[in-house]
Structure 1
Amino acid sequence: MTHGRGSQGPVADGRHTVVVGGGLAGVTAALALADAGVRVTLLEGRPRLGGLAFSFQRGELTVDNGQHVYLRCCTAYRWFLDRIEGAALAPLQDRLDVPVLDAARPAGRRLGRLRRDALPVPLHLGRSLATYPHLSLADRAKVGRAALALKGLDLADPALDTQDFGSWLAAHGQSERAIEALWDLVGVATLNAVAGDASLGLAAMVFKTGLLSDPGAADIGWARVPLGDLHDRLARKALDSAGVRTEVRTRVTSVSRNANGGGWSVEVPGETLQADAVVLAVPQREAHDLLPAGALDAPERLLEIGTAPILNVHVVYDRKVLARPFFAALGTPVQWVFDRTEASGLREGQYLALSQSVAQDEIDEPVAVLRRRYLPELERLLPLTRGAEVSDFFVTRERTATFAPTPGVGRLRPGARTKASGLYLAGAWTATGWPATMESAVRSGVGAADAVLGALGRPRPQHLFEFEEAA
């Protein structure tokens, strides 16, 4: 085992919590508990922290396994960045501005933009939608009416979770083109599902919160450094300073209640840890396997929470081919393209990362097939690629990148508390109200920490993220 002990955190009392899982949910829970003076051990099976938002080396490149972004409305993740002193490394846009290229349109007429003005909701998007070239005049008018209807939905209504977003959009006058060029442009990237396969409840939450709550809510932020610098290096530094014992390469094999009812035993190879409380911050299927009998009324529901893949295509050119930091695309298999040159450490040429959500049909395709598919598409979208040499082409695959946001998934997502006293759940898949995002992961970690602190009778740290009244 490897570990780090810090000396700058608050003085811990005798209460001990074990957090299983070193993704964003587990790191958040560990930091929140340590900040409250609880003694914490964080266990992670991988050799690094960060869960599914991590980096690795490929020659001279530092590669993120996938492109991750967040929005200004992701207040919990922004709190997390502040807590690990990483906010300056993942800045937000001053104002929402998304270039959208339609490969099916003639050259010179391909670019549209989704951007906001400094006006109150919903006028902040009015000019952008009125001039958005990828929709007809009739579609633009109908989009506005659908947005107002969406704004009127009650997110607390459980019936929304039983409906699919695509049927709701069709019932509100949205054409197939409007769904492709606007609703799915946003929804596929945030939900990892097309409208017809997504819960209306989750989709309404995304659009109401991101586009219809505050003028700046959808401003986009992303890391200008490798994700590992944030979610592993800075997170580990923060954990050490808070006094958390962090163990990587340490896979938990079982979690069981002690026979005398006095706490929990957590088994790892070569050691049994004793704890007053345990937070399982692992994927739903791993949580199912570790949960002791009776911890949930219907543990099999965790296995009913589906998963959805994301494919990332990485292309390194010998010269600069893209002048903007990112763009979204229509009329092509390409979805979102980001310039990762500076963050990766590439010294010559340009490195583009294509983020491909809803990748069920492509996730197992051979690299050669994907190369033949995507390089010509990039040539259609970016004329400067036609004379450029491809110096590297590779893919990263996350087969279980997110939980599937299908209709009915809401009833399957458990809260932080289990029926077993002292055992708690965290993870983006738990009942945060958000889809599977970094924001959801951090919120779940805060929620689990709150539950532990309540059970241990410890006060909440003053600086800990505060949930909004509507959350």
Structure 2
Amino acid sequence: MERARDGINDARTTIIGAGWAGISAAHSLLAQGVPPNLITIFERAPHPGGRAFSFDDEKQGLTFDNGQHVLLGCCDQFADLLSQLGIRDAYRLQPLLHIPVYCDGAWGRLSSKRLAGALHLLPGLLTYAHLRPLERVRALRVAPQFLRPDVDALDGISFGDWLRQNGQTDRAIGRLWDLVGTAVLNGHADEVSAALALESFRMGVVAGWQQARLGLFTRPLGDLAAEAITKLQGLGVEIRFNTAVTELQVRESRVTGVRLRGGDVHPAETVIAAVPHDALVRMLPSGLRDDEDFARLASLTWSPILNAFVLYDRPVMGQDVFASMELGGMFVFNRASLLGLPQYEGRWLSVSISAAHTYRGLGADELAMQIRSALAAALPQARAAQVETCKLVWQPHATFLASPGSSSARANPTTSVKGLFVAGDWTNTGWPASLEGAVRSGIAAAEARLGHKLPLTS
């Protein structure tokens, strides 16, 4: 760890939230020489990880994640944080992007080759079975426009409108752009900002074959967060679980501490609030909620994700992952294969349905039936198999919705309150809501707290 070089590192810092934004902020402060005894993390839950945690099912003896997260090869800062914390065997990257896609009773695939830049997509798009020949040509024609998107000009229109303006049919949008974009942005093409969509495709798909590879987690997410927190504790950082912050203490536009549930006040000269945007607003003194920095947060809304964990009585799936156009678009993962559980190989699947507003009003039995039917449509072996368990996990507040115009509502790490900094995947990272965005936000908050730019390694 680098030694402290100036007085700014001598101030006490409180971090609210032990999700990946808070973990990243604490690690970045330590790396820049802030003494660990001056860092305290408060977490309201009994576990770390924020919106990426795990829980056990004692009846089945299985560990569930609250949602099936994935990485892309471009997620270098999350990978670097894991490496620096000594967390191994967390995920594996595909050698090349390869996602089988089921649609209307037939299979296609999204894939790439080891070709320079955007050319890696050329063979896969030319042979993508779910588009007509002319739709493939039009997709190839529009791809170069992802390389240099005019983010400021495009934030006010939807991705769907931009695609139509550039010759993409509704059929092509649904079978290609929306299938991928919804999984990345947790919003359908007509719901999300064209600017963030194009920038996300640029970083994660168009930039090169290495960046586009899918990263699949090989350990439960909760284990990774717990190991990260244990490493921070071993370095001397104080972490208090089951400790909710109810209010930020502010005097003369300067943060002075945080009030905890129960009434105790913890003094703090600087605070990094690594919490969701609506939680931050609730913590503010009432007089600050109309401040320009915070009032705009009210325009950020949530988008839900529906997850299902399905256990069959026999193997039904051979590949690691596939996408399906059933239920408006879903991704299916061979969870037992990824976690290395041979007794459940091909039997234990996880299903992720992003932007799942449509299904919020349905009962659990109806949802389970629709998901089983969608799996049976794509997997012939599932049609005769018995379902032993179908566990639904809703994330009603999975991510913020990157709607057109939302860029202006995403907060910078500094605020109008001296000593108060913010982090979280909803902040102005330039990335969609993701683990990578959370880690980058923690680095940015630590950078702002220290008053100088931290190096980003790759």
Is 1:128 the equivalent of 2:124? yes
User: Does the CA-based 8 Å contact 1:334-1:374 persist in structure 2?
Assistant: no
Greater helix fraction, Structure 1 or Structure 2: 2
Query: Cα–Cα, structure 1 residues 152 and 423, in superposed 2: closer, same or farther, change >3 Å?
Result: closer
| CA deviations over 1:235-293 (Å, ceiling 9, x no partner) | 1122113321011100001111357x885121113632211200111111110122344
Paired residue type of 2:426? W
Q: Distance in 2 between matches of 1:199 and 1:414?
A: 17
User: Does the CA-based 8 Å contact 1:44-1:247 persist in structure 2?
Assistant: yes
User: Does the CA-based 8 Å contact 2:121-2:206 persist in structure 1?
Assistant: no
User: Does the CA-based 8 Å contact 1:301-1:412 persist in structure 2?
Assistant: yes
User: Does the CA-based 8 Å contact 1:20-1:279 persist in structure 2?
Assistant: yes
2:405 maps to 408
Alignment equivalent of 2:305, drawn from 310, 313, 316? 310
Q: Distance in 2 between matches of 1:411 and 1:172?
A: 25
1:5 maps to none
TM-score, normalised to structure 2, is 0.92
Deviation at 1:297, TM superposition (A): 2.0
| CA deviations over 1:369-412 (Å, ceiling 9, x no partner) | 11221112211110001221111111000101000110000111
Gaps of 5+ in 1: 1-7
2:439 maps to 442
User: Does the CA-based 8 Å contact 2:21-2:274 persist in structure 1?
Assistant: yes
| Bigger Cα displacement from structure 2, 379-388 vs 270-279 | 270-279
Deviation at 1:446, TM superposition (A): 0.5
Q: Distance in 2 between matches of 1:244 and 1:10?
A: 16
Paired residue type of 1:179? I
Is 1:180 the equivalent of 2:181? no
2:258 maps to 266
Alignment equivalent of 2:216, drawn from 203, 222, 228? 222
Alignment equivalent of 1:391, drawn from 384, 388, 391? 388
Deviation at 1:348, TM superposition (A): 4.2
2:418 maps to 421
Is 1:257 the equivalent of 2:250? yes
User: Does the CA-based 8 Å contact 2:254-2:419 persist in structure 1?
Assistant: no
User: Does the CA-based 8 Å contact 2:146-2:199 persist in structure 1?
Assistant: no
User: Does the CA-based 8 Å contact 2:218-2:340 persist in structure 1?
Assistant: no
Aligned-partner SS, 1:310: strand
1:4 maps to none
Is 1:147 the equivalent of 2:143? yes
1:194 maps to 188
Show the 5 A alignment for 1:150-169.
Answer: 150-155=146-151, 158-169=152-163
| CA deviations over 1:129-163 (Å, ceiling 9, x no partner) | 111111110000000111122324233xx121111
Alignment equivalent of 1:33, drawn from 29, 35, 45? 29
Query: Cα–Cα, structure 1 residues 465 and 153, in superposed 2: closer, same or farther, change >3 Å?
Result: closer
- RMSD across aligned positions (CA): 2.2
1:325 maps to 320
Show the 5 A alignment for 1:364-375.
Answer: 364-375=361-372
Identical residues among aligned pairs (%): 36
Aligned-partner SS, 2:309: strand
Deviation at 1:83, TM superposition (A): 2.5
Deviation at 1:23, TM superposition (A): 1.0
Q: Distance in 1 between matches of 2:284 and 2:213?
A: 39
Query: Cα–Cα, structure 1 residues 434 and 465, in superposed 2: closer, same or farther, change >3 Å?
Result: same
Is 1:82 the equivalent of 2:77? no
1:206 maps to 200
TM-score, normalised to structure 1, is 0.90
Paired residue type of 1:290? M
1:340 maps to 335
Q: Distance in 2 between matches of 1:348 and 1:88?
A: 20
Paired residue type of 1:181? R
| Bigger Cα displacement from structure 2, 10-19 vs 121-130 | 10-19
Aligned-partner SS, 2:135: helix
